[in-house]
Homo-oligomer: A and B are copies of this chain.
């Protein structure tokens, strides 16, 4: 993906997304012994970077496809993102959700005009339901992370960061399904000569880390992490990009995630979800590597249940 193509994508989605601010903190710079630039996607529309990929994926459809709508299965941020992006563009969004999804998530999708179909809480059931909707409506299926249009859309967060701060040595992102990581790599390759991308991943769901080691996509047997957005696994569209270009994947413990989240809440005064803290936790484990350098951190989102916090 060359710079001109990414630039066109960015220009196309600009009317539908926020250009999020970049925050800095002297205290966090002191702790990290580096200059750290936080890209605040918690302030993105619907509260997460996923709005970028969802918007681009819908805009990139043909008129005929747009008329028939889009469908995805997700109980997380991508469901909300697809519903809101579809509403903004004037397209129907069918969202398959497990029937035991939290009420607040159901309401958020409904609030953005999404059409929810509930299914049993298994992978098989949600895939079957999405397939059924595709067949009945002709809607286009959009995967939350393993779709090249979605990946290209996610690239725009790092594009904005690099346009503002071109001399970043590293950009740290969390890795779950791999859409943000692959997109950030595409942006860094196109917009910078030597900026490398590093991913943070919870030790408890270390499938991406193991995938890099084995050279094939691994999955998790357990998924016990506070970073609930990172439980998913890589896909065949993003793994080749990640495998070829990622600088490294840094594993972090649950305690390290909560510690980083506390720093962001207390010192930056930002409400971020645990997945965002995974990126800062990785930074804090690599202090030797970043010492004295300029680095970026993508705070991926702010959709967290404030009645159920880890501190």
Listed in ascending order, the chain A residues whose CB lies under 8 Å from chain B are: 21, 23, 42-43, 47, 262, 265-266, 269-272, 302, 306-307, 309, 311
Contacts and interface: CB of A to CB of B under 8 A. Distances in A.
Contact of A309 (B23, B42, B302, B309): B309
B21 A269 contact: no
Contacts of A23: 43
13 contacts: A21-B21, A23-B43, A42-B269, A43-B269, A266-B271, A266-B306, A269-B270, A269-B271, A269-B272, A270-B270, A270-B271, A306-B309, A309-B309
Q: What number of copies of this chain does the assembly contain?
A: 2
A49 B270 CA distance: 17
Contacts of A43: 23, 269
Nearest to A273: B269
Contacts of A47: 269
Given A43-B269, A269-B42, A271-B269, A307 B311 contact: yes
Q: Which 7 A-B pairs have the closest CB atoms?
A: A269-B302, A269-B271, A42-B269, A307-B311, A265-B306, A265-B271, A306-B311
A242 B288 CA distance: 54
Contacts of A265: 271, 306
Contacts of A270: 269-271
A222 to B, nearest CB: 28
Nearest to A23: B43
Contacts of A42: 269
A42 B23 CA distance: 13
Contacts of A266: 271, 306
A109 to B, nearest CB: 15
Nearest to A41: B269
A23 B21 CA distance: 11
B269 A306 contact: no
A311 B43 CA distance: 21
Contacts of A309: 306, 309
Contacts of A302: 269
A37 to B, nearest CB: 15
Contacts of A272: 269
Contacts of A307: 311
A301 to B, nearest CB: 9
A23 B42 CA distance: 13
Nearest to A45: B26
Interface core residue of A262, A271, A302, A306 (most chain B CB under 10 Å)? A271
A302 to B, nearest CB: 4
A80 to B, nearest CB: 13
A133 to B, nearest CB: 28
